[in-house]
Amino acid sequence: MTERLRIHVDPDKCQGHARCKALAPELFELDEYGNAHEAGDGTVPPGLEDKAWLAKSNCPEIAIDVIEE
Amino acid sequence: MSDVSQPAAHPPVTDWVHDFDHTDPQWTEDPFPIWDELRAAGPVVHTERFLGCYMPTTYEAVREIANDSEHFSSRRIIVRDVRPEITSRNSAPPITSDPPVHKPAKQLLLPPFTPDAMKKLEPRVRAICNELIDGFIAERRLDAAERYTKHIPVRAIAHMLGISESDSDLFIKWIHMILELGIKDETMLLQAVHEMSAYFGAHIEARKNKPTDDLISYLMNARDKEGNPLEDSHVLGSLRLLLIAGIDTTWSAIGSSLWHLARTPADRERLIAEPELIPNAVEELLRAYSPVTMAREVVKETTISGCPVKPGNMVLLSFPAANRDPKIFPDADKVVIDRRENRHAAFGLGIHRCVGSNLARMEMQVALEEWLKRIPDFALDPAGTVTWSQGTVRGPRQLPFLLGKAM
């Protein structure tokens, strides 16, 4: 389990449910409309991997990718 | 007393699979076994009622329709006995809009409803909850729907709109006429829309001379992409939408949540011991007791899970039934307040995701937190009857509780 995770929000799928921001506030940011994008370049800092998966599995629009690098 | 009046009755349903009716008393009272029966019959069912209507029974079919505005229009979003003519007077952008008109209309409404905006409103909602609790905490018996759940969303949205919280009863009457009585009686629908338009028209006029710092002035000051202000009819439609969509729905969601907690001491005790679990529990209660059922009108020939549908057909889009689909949610019929994976569709899916979802979530969390802090012990009153609203929005309209420890 040494691989790093990177997250990406598909802006065409995100509808602003904001579940990711509630569950993993360190990993996501919302724009003025409340739509989400990944914080920074999407790299998941060590220790926050569970939150990344949790956000993905609670997104009603299936808009979040978690990429194992 | 308009609240207790019920719409004209339909013949009772004896064959749910071929003759379903989401306004039937059995559906209103306990829809969950009906949805299981319909799902077992197939991914889509049909009824001749409401001038002919289809209903997808699975989460996946609901998702497909919600994401297909090319074939399924939102110009009619409530299944009724009649098909009222579509005019600017009864449209409510963006919920009744399709692409490409939808996106700019929705983007206009989104900024005042972001999670950050809701944080600013939260102290007012907390105060509203406590003012309400102050009013009945000394009593042993009460109707929690009438005394608590009903007033939280109506006062919160009135506060946002900048209209008097004391006009609440008026708003509740209009909503009942539009969402319940209006399903079967078009005059009620038109009368309510007319009264609301006159009410908000006066508020718009007043702000033309004296702008205020509220949602009505915000909409009046909004500009479209070309820099033009919105037409009065657009502002009116959006105001009607915010009022209609913001009240019954959250009233229902808070009520169903308290109803569940009244009957489930283990969940209640856990949330009192671990209040940090409340946001997660709110998601699960939203899944298990989703209040809102929408609809679409077919505008282009297509199929739903293989079943052909034609322009003019109505489709009942039951997010509540989708949220009970065991293919997506293990133990779908159980309320699991610490459920970790929960892609529920209580606020819809696709471009019409509820504009007020962040508001509703905040109200639910605050309403449950404040209630549980001050009233840890409560139960359904066996001497009373719980009643549920019918049709588009389902939630308890009478919620008789006994407060305090059982004797």
pLDDT digits 0-9 by tens, B33-79? 999 999 999 999 999 999 999 999 999 999 999 999 999 999 999 89
CA distances from B256 to B184, B269, B287 (A): 25, 17, 11
Does B349 contact A61 at a Cβ distance shorter than 8 Å? yes
The range of the structural domain enclosing residue B318 comes to 2-403
Phi, psi of B308 (to 5 degrees): -70, 140
Q: Smallest Cα–Cα separation from B353: which of B125, B71, B74, B44?
A: B74
B353 to chain A: which residues are within 8 Å by CB?
Answer: 15-17, 60-61
B111 to chain A: which residues are within 8 Å by CB?
Answer: 32-34
Is B362 within 8 Å of B147 (Cβ atoms)?
no
ipTM of the complex: 0.97
CATH number for the domain spanning A38: value is 3.30.70.20
The secondary structure of residue B352, as a DSSP letter, is: G
CATH number for the domain spanning B181: value is 1.10.630.10
For chain A, list residues whose CB is within 8 angstroms of any CB belonging to chain B: 15-19, 21-22, 30, 32-34, 54, 57-62
B349 to chain A: which residues are within 8 Å by CB?
Answer: 15, 60-61
* Best to test chain A binding among B114, B340, B347 (most A CBs inside 10 Å): B114
Q: Domain count of chain B?
A: 1
The range of the structural domain enclosing residue A49 comes to 5-68
A36 to chain B: which residues are within 8 Å by CB?
Answer: none
pLDDT by residue for chain B (407 residues), tens only, comes to: 333 345 567 999 999 999 999 999 999 999 999 999 999 999 999 999 999 999 999 999 999 999 999 999 999 998 988 887 887 766 788 999 999 999 998 999 999 999 999 999 999 999 999 999 999 999 999 999 999 999 999 999 999 999 999 998 899 899 888 877 887 888 988 899 899 999 999 999 999 999 999 999 999 999 888 889 988 888 888 888 888 888 889 999 999 999 999 999 999 999 999 999 999 999 999 999 999 999 999 999 999 999 999 999 999 999 999 999 999 999 999 999 999 999 999 999 999 999 999 999 999 999 999 999 999 999 999 999 999 998 899 999 999 999 998 75
For residue A27, the distance in angstroms to the closest alpha carbon of chain B comes to 16
For chain A, the residue count is 69
B280 CB-contact burial (10 Å; exposed 0-12 / middle 13-18 / buried 19+): buried
State the residue for tokens 């339909």: B10
Dihedral sign for Cα atoms in the order B297, B303, B309, B312: positive
Decide if B114 touches A, using CB distance below 8 A.
yes
Q: Domain count of chain A?
A: 1
* Best to test chain B binding among A12, A13, A32, A33 (most B CBs inside 10 Å): A33
The per-residue pLDDT of chain B, averaged, comes to: 93
pLDDT digits 0-9 by tens, A32-61? 999 999 999 999 999 999 999 999 999 999
